[in-house]
A and B are shown apart, each in its own frame.
Chain A
Amino acid sequence: MSYLELENLTKHFTKREGLLAKKLRTIKAVDGVNLKIEKGEILGLVGESGCGKSTLSRLIMQLLQPTEGSVVLEDKRLAELSKSEIRRRRRDFQMIFQDPYASLNPRMTVYSTLAEAIATRHPQLPKDRSGMENAVGKLMERVGLDRRFVRKYPHEFSGGQRQRIAIARALGTEPKLILADEPVSALDVSIQSQILNLLRQLRDELELTMIFISHDLSVVRYIADRIAVMDEGKIVEVGEANEVFENPKSETSKMLLQAIPQIRI
């Protein structure tokens, strides 16, 4: 049994068409996706914009209810759980977003952002001031932030540091699965490398399972163990990262690979 399994996961949106709203058109955003992810694995998910990557990630995060099929995490069908149970389980999966400028609350200091995340797992800790300070400090060190910055606000940090705060916040709930949606595409090249190194190191140290969504295949090839290629709501190819990269089978993968600019020496 794999750690995370997607069974025939499907999400259809219906759209009214025409002025009198009689016709309904179905958009198959995610269309029968089957995927298995093992513990401690990094799965790269690639595809053009509009292929359904983001809808799929929202389904896994339980932010959308599937039309059909299910998400199975450690043998539990998430759709069958009650709402309060889902809230509790949500600590187990966390997201990292593309734009750290937008995904952090500008009115919260690093301390309150991280303390809030930690408190979901350790509800008694907010009463214990030094214990919480210690936990926040540890978390900051884990992602390579200086403990002294704990009282600062997001705007006082650079883009790379902000992404580190966002990663620390995701780790604060002690998740098992991290879904990273284009986590480095808004960052400069030199900062991109810091974040990629950090994510790999965290995976090794904490045995995190990660789904890494990106349209940049060279980044995905570098970080992912396996790559899944998506097109029109379907997974068209899954395989070892290098294998997909060097020997693509589906038309979509071939097209994506031809499209990426390459450094030819």
Chain B
Amino acid sequence: MAILEVKDLQTSFHTREGVVKAVDGVSFEVEAGQTVGIVGESGSGKSVTCYSLLKLIPQPPGRIEGGQALFKGKDLLALSENEMRKVRGSQIGLIFQDPMTSLNPYLKISSQIIEPLMIHEGLSKSAALDRAVAELDAVGIPDVKSRINSYPHEFSGGMRQRVMIAMALITRPEILIADEPTTALDVTIQRQVLDLIKTRQEELGTAVIFITHDLAVVSEVCDEVNVMYAGRFVERAPVAKLFTTPKHAYTKALQRSIPALQEKGQNLYTIPGLPPDLTHGIEGCAFGPRCEPEVGGENRDHATSRPPLVELEPHHWVQQCPGCVGG
């Protein structure tokens, strides 16, 4: 049984230039303890998808136009703000890309980390502090007893991200949403943070929704991956399948454009053109105008109405556009 079931989620932003369909009918499921990745370029709608689930989209200009997000059977999108607050930070945790901006610079780490415990679990300050010390210790902060009274600026970037992880997991949420948690970090620190998320996840049994644009990170941490383009999922597959037998032209194009998978000296593939302007509704296949035979196969017939996501092989879902899937 999936603990989170998102069905046909649609979020748009009403701007002066028109209605931007940032998330255009996205569906996915998250099983308990599983890591689900959402990968795509900037502006593809990865973050908006996750923030919509927690109603963290500024409304207006944003608006959740439709869909359902069933979390253990109840629809998150239908909750009132008061009910939502009981879910946020308690049953669903969130960590952001930049720990420098998501921690309050005026408050000691101690008062920030015990806040969710006092609010959601009604613990006393001293009981909450004991839990906080244990949690910070578990994420590898050295000498916690004295460091807990420091301010965020006294920590390095990697340490701050550890604090964020401790804070997000202290209430033992069932789902952790990690939005580009390592993008701002150095490679060696990135490795430590990725390992930390993995071990804490195994210890606590948390499911993780991992948002990133880095295919290599995806391949290491995720069980299942959704590839997002222009507000839609174009492909979903278990991680090994996605890399060995990608089906959609966009997924293939992405993989052929990263240096890690190419021979030295070989030209990298570049996707021609630019991502579509989302202020105009996209009728057919969103990737069609940028799809070349090299990645999409000889068939140049792109879907003129929105291609459905179909299960081509067990657990391997692809947006079925003849021009992109080839044949």
- A interface residues, Cβ below 8 angstroms from B: 48-49, 158, 188-190, 192-194, 196-197, 200, 215-219, 221-223, 241-242, 255-256, 258-265
User: B220 to chain A: which residues have CB within 8 Å?
Assistant: 261-262, 264
Shortest beta-carbon distance, A253 to chain B, in Å?
12
Shortest beta-carbon distance, B301 to chain A, in Å?
24
Cβ-defined contact, A223 with B270, below 8 A: no
Q: Does B187 contact A (CB under 8 A)?
A: yes
Within 8 A of A (CB), among B248-271: 253-254, 257-262, 264, 267-271
Q: Interface code B28-39, partner A: CB below 8 Å = 1, 0 otherwise?
A: 000000000000
User: B191 to chain A: which residues have CB within 8 Å?
Assistant: 258-261
In the bound assembly, the distance between CA atoms of A218 and B214 in angstroms comes to 12
In the bound assembly, the distance between CA atoms of A41 and B260 in angstroms comes to 21
Q: Which 9 A-B pairs have the closest CB atoms?
A: A222-B259, A193-B268, A193-B257, A261-B216, A259-B191, A218-B260, A263-B219, A259-B188, A188-B41
User: A264 to chain B: which residues have CB within 8 Å?
Assistant: 219-220
Known contacts A189-B41, A189-B215; is A196 also within 8 Å of B259 by CB?
Answer: yes
Shortest beta-carbon distance, B44 to chain A, in Å?
9
Q: Interface code B214-227, partner A: CB below 8 Å = 1, 0 otherwise?
A: 11110110000000
Chain A: interface secondary structure?
helix
Residue of B nearest to A194 (CB): B270
User: A221 to chain B: which residues have CB within 8 Å?
Assistant: 259, 264
Cβ-defined contact, B260 with A263, below 8 A: yes
Cβ-defined contact, A262 with B260, below 8 A: yes
Residue of B nearest to A223 (CB): B259
Cβ-defined contact, A259 with B41, below 8 A: no
Chain B: interface secondary structure?
helix
Cβ-defined contact, A197 with B268, below 8 A: yes
Within 8 A of A (CB), among B195-214: 213-214
Cβ-defined contact, A190 with B261, below 8 A: no
Cβ-defined contact, A189 with B213, below 8 A: yes
Cβ-defined contact, A197 with B190, below 8 A: no
Cβ-defined contact, A263 with B270, below 8 A: no
In the bound assembly, the distance between CA atoms of A221 and B258 in angstroms comes to 12
Of A193, A194, A218, A223, which one neighbours B216 at CB under 8 angstroms? A218
Q: A188-B42, A193-B270, A264-B219 are in contact. List 18 more A-B contacts (CB 8 A).
A: A49-B186, A189-B41, A189-B213, A189-B214, A190-B253, A190-B271, A197-B268, A215-B186, A218-B258, A218-B259, A218-B260, A258-B191, A259-B190, A261-B214, A261-B217, A262-B220, A262-B260, A265-B243
User: A193 to chain B: which residues have CB within 8 Å?
Assistant: 257-259, 268-270
In the bound assembly, the distance between CA atoms of A193 and B271 in angstroms comes to 9
For this complex, 23 residue pairs linking A to B, each with C-beta atoms less than 8 Å apart, are: A48-B186, A49-B186, A158-B274, A188-B41, A189-B214, A190-B253, A192-B257, A192-B258, A193-B258, A193-B259, A193-B269, A197-B267, A197-B268, A217-B187, A218-B216, A219-B259, A221-B259, A222-B262, A242-B264, A259-B187, A260-B216, A261-B214, A262-B219
Cβ-defined contact, B215 with A215, below 8 A: no
Cβ-defined contact, A215 with B187, below 8 A: yes
In the bound assembly, the distance between CA atoms of A248 and B217 in angstroms comes to 22
Q: Does B194 contact A (CB under 8 A)?
A: yes
Residue of B nearest to A220 (CB): B259
In the bound assembly, the distance between CA atoms of A49 and B157 in angstroms comes to 11
Residue of B nearest to A257 (CB): B187
In the bound assembly, the distance between CA atoms of A258 and B215 in angstroms comes to 17
